[in-house]
Amino acid sequence: MLDPKRLRHEIESVAQALAKKGYKLDVEQFNQLESARKEAQQRAEQAQAERNSYAKSMGQLMAQARAEGADTEALKARGEALKSAAHEAEQALVAIAAQLDALLAEIPNTPDESVPPGSDERDNVELRRWGAPRQFSFAAADHVDVGAALSGGLDFDRGVKIAGSRFAVMRGQVARLHRALIQFMLDQHTTNNGYEELNVPYIVNRDSLVGTGQLPKFEQDLFKLADDREFYLIPTAEVPVTNLFRDEIVAELPQKFVCHTPCFRSEAGSYGRDTRGMIRQHQFEKVEMVQFVQPEQAAAALEELTRHAEQLLELLQLPYRTVLLCGGDTGFSAAKTYDIEVWLPSQQTYREISSCSHFGDFQARRLGARYRDSATGKPAYLHTLNGSGLAVGRTLVAVLENYQQADGSVAIPTVLQPYMGGATQIG
């Protein structure tokens, strides 16, 4: 959530910044609600002041009336009327504040100044590449055909039978390779990169999703449980991990966490895209990095977190490129995002495998997550960051395609062989 004070005092510049994301801020609506809020707050404060003043003098007025033999009922009625007026004024303020909060919840984060203009992924800016795509001496197959040819391998037909489209079954050594990738990623982040490993719930409540920005705007992208308590399956570990410090003042920063979870997404609006294989599924797994930092640490933390994701691909010897997302392609809650895209031989292109974002204090305001500023001693909103380190299913896809052999087998990357019992290939 954006700082309401910033909107009150800099609304035109905020509107201009949001236009880079393709979002048109309704300045008139905000100004009208803000004006109504001010008036309602003044009325509420005035009504409460009148009630308090009368309450202080009530005893003296009652004593005077009794001494004079006068009726005290009118004095009591006056007190009740002032109490009722104060309550009504307070309720009017609450109602307008709720309207204002609802509007604020729909406004995206403003992009960082370094974010380039643009409307979609075609306008993203490539920053660097690593590794040269492999030149095959045979016609490279896509991961669906590679996986199907392996013993056990990938079974999409049974995934459809069990659950429906956009589900898969992994068997045998392919299932073990998937597990090996998870263990490798967690070991790298915890042992070498200083992250603390977490195990979190895969079901979250509505407040958690509001805090990270998935709700209310993106409810159609979620799987909601048929339960009166408004439970949802997590779309990413970002949600439960970032909510660790909801409504808390964090004693020590930075805090760095890594977490492996399944992820569940309805993929609303993506029908017809990547329908073949494991690129876009309803259920997939990720290893997620999340950092909580002080504002002055955030820029460096984004570079560090992105580098941690890149290093995994380098250890796996998978070619990739890193791009800076343009305004129109930057997500709702993010201020700045780097996408890391891995090379897929079957598509002869790079596809996203990690998205690393800095959110400023946007999520922290929604969460009520703060730290104590050493300079002032007062609570202030911390900054949040997260990134995939990595998307496990897409990494499996990249390994199957980049390491396929002419005889249909798949070589196992050197760093994964210890996790595969020393095996060097899947036959």
Q: Cis omega before residue 216 (within 30°)? A: yes
Place of tokens 């990739």: 320
Is 265 annotated to bind a ligand? Reply is: yes
Is 266 annotated to bind a ligand? Reply is: yes
Per DSSP (E only), the strands in 53-153 are: 125-130
Sequence-separated (6 or more) residues with CB below 8 Å from residue 389: 185, 189, 258, 287, 288, 289, 305, 308, 309, 312, 354
Is 238 annotated to bind a ligand? Reply is: yes
3-state secondary structure the chain: CCCHHHHHHHHHHHHHHHHCCCCCCCHHHHHHHHHHHHHHHHHHHHHHHHHHHHHHHHHHHHHHHHHCCCCCHHHHHHHHHHHHHHHHHHHHHHHHHHHHHHHHHHCCCCCCCCCCCCCCHHHCEEEEEECCCCCCCCCCCCHHHHHHHCCCCEEHHHHHHHCCCCCCEECHHHHHHHHHHHHHHHHHHHHHCCCEEECCCCEEEHHHHHHHCCCCCCHHHCCECCCCCCEEECCCCHHHHHHHHCCCEECCCCEEEEEEEEEECCCCCCCCCCCCCCCCCCEEEEEEEEEEECHHHHHHHHHHHHHHHHHHHHHCCCCEEEEECCHHHCCCCCCEEEEEEEEECCCCEEEEEEEEEECCCHHHHHHCCEEECCCCCCEEECEEEEEEEEEHHHHHHHHHHHCECCCCCEECCHHHHHHHCCCCEEC
310 token code pair = 């890149």
Is 114 annotated to bind a ligand? Reply is: no
Is 288 annotated to bind a ligand? Reply is: yes
Active site residues: 265, 280, 352, 355, 394
Place of tokens 């309450």: 55
Is 31 annotated to bind a ligand? Reply is: no
353 token code pair = 């495998």
Determine phi and psi for 280, rounding to 5 degrees: -135, 95
Asked if 350 contacts 313 with a C-beta cutoff of 8 angstroms, the reply is: no
Is 299 annotated to bind a ligand? Reply is: no
Is 203 annotated to bind a ligand? Reply is: no
CA separation for the pair 204, 215 (Å, rounded): 12
Is 354 annotated to bind a ligand? Reply is: yes
Annotated binding-site residue numbers for L-serine: 236-238, 265, 288, 386, 388
Q: Which residues are annotated as a binding site for ATP?
A: 265-267, 352-355
Task: Write out the binding residues.
Answer: 236-238, 265-267, 288, 352-355, 386, 388
